[in-house]
Amino acid sequence: MRKTYTYKPNNITSFKKQLLAWAQQFYEVVWLDSNNFKKAYSNFDAVLAVDALTSISTDYHDAFQNLKEYQTNTNDWIFGYLSYDLKNDVETLNSNNFDGLKFPELMFFQPKKLFFIKGEEVVMQYLNMVDDEIEDDIDTIQNTNKETENDHQKLKIKRRLHKDEYYNKVENMLEHIHRGDIYEANFCQEFYAEQIMLNPLSIYNNLNGISKPPFATFLKFEDKYILSASPERYLKKQGNTIISQPIKGTAKRSTNFMEDKELKEALKIDEKERSENIMIVDLVRNDLSKTATKGSVTVEELCEVYTFPQVHQMISTVTSTVNENTHPIDILKTTFPMGSMTGAPKVSAMKIIEDLEETKRGVYSGTVGYISPSGDFDFNVIIRSILYNKTKQYVSYSVGGAITAKSNPVKEYEECLIKAKAMREVLEN
């Protein structure tokens, strides 16, 4: 079904930039880049999928069942996203908040052309119908200008929620916590601009250059774009092993070496941040147990602190084992949406989130990734991401944080601004 061709460019860094620039001609593009972040459970340094042979696009009604049928019948590589609002397919919930982006709630495609980058090598997999284009494509990619125009029109970022409103809503959430309705919930706010024309590739390159995250994504479906500098993995399936790596706990960086080290050490022992992380680990363990073989759910790493260019992050790793006949879509459905973006108990948290937030989350705090022909998959969490609808000329990014009994509304707001910094810088030039 696919022809495989291995190629070794003279300069892999340059080739990656040319490859992504070349991909812009297609209506469907998914680019996943680890930015050479060396961590366990990594298969590729980067992957590019372009040009749909088949695709699926749907709202939340029976979305997971439709995806299951599509993935089973395709029996090939598929790439795409699940939006947060597929929660309404999993539970009896709804999404009635304002939506300026208007993305489909689920979208996947079967690419004609695939590029897997590992080390200095590129493995290309082309469907048989286009395999005669491989050599021409390599020539064209190597002659593609990798530089992009940085300029875009001046834009004014607006906030959907003003600071005082944010404080009031966090206080409201704290009342729910003190009443015992929830232990923790992720509360998000949107920043946006209207009547905007952007160069999505330029925006992505600048955002990725600032953040260099392990789960960076450039996704294009016709006129809709996800430009993501995500540091977080949602879920990976590797054989019969399932891996979840929730992030909870954030601290800013400092240019002063000693101060930066102190900020990192302070995050490691921060009681509030650790309790946030541990609550979500418990939720993830519960989610994974729905498909796990008995006794196989394991916490491999608890509250480890990792350093990224913009922030320090507290990450845990939870794994499980599934039976060979467990369908990959069932594993996604029983864990979605991810615990780090919802709260505990999960359904109660999602109801309160819907009530207090002003914006429909849509793709934000959903996931983008791939499923392989063997049923393996890898998906990130769509955070630290700029979302753009070119036709509607609407650009948006959202940020949030976990609210617990120990939360201070002022500090939570400050944490949101730290998370938003790279996206604001890129958009405001």
Among all residues, which ones are annotated catalytic? 232, 248
**Other Cβ atoms within 10 Å of 154 Cβ, number:** 9
Strand partners, 400: 188
Calpha distance 198→178 (Å, rounded):
44
CA 6 – CA 238 distance, rounded (Å): 23
Query: Dihedral through CA 246, CA 252, CA 254, CA 257, nearest 10?
Result: -40
State the Cα–Cα distance between residues 364 and 385, nearest whole angstrom.
7
Amino acid at 195: Q
Distance CA 268, CA 262 (A): 10
Nearest CA among 106, 105, 116, 4 for reference residue 50: 116
DSSP 48-104: EEEEEEEEEEE-STTHHHHHHHHHHHH-S-EEEEE-GGGHHHHSS----SB-SS---
Give how far Cα 395 sits from Cα of 191, 196, 198, 349, 387, Å.
9, 7, 9, 27, 6
Alpha carbons 45 and 32: distance in angstroms, whole number: 8
Cβ atoms within 10 Å, residue 420: 18
Going along 253-357, which residue ranges are E strands? 298-307, 311-321, 343-344
Which SS3 state, helix, strand or coil, does residue 383 take?
coil
CB 80 within 8 A of CB 54: no
Distance linking the first and last C-alpha atoms of the chain: 45
Distance, CA of 83 to CA of 275 (rounded, Å)? 27
What is the C-alpha separation between 25 and 141, in angstroms, rounded?
Answer: 12
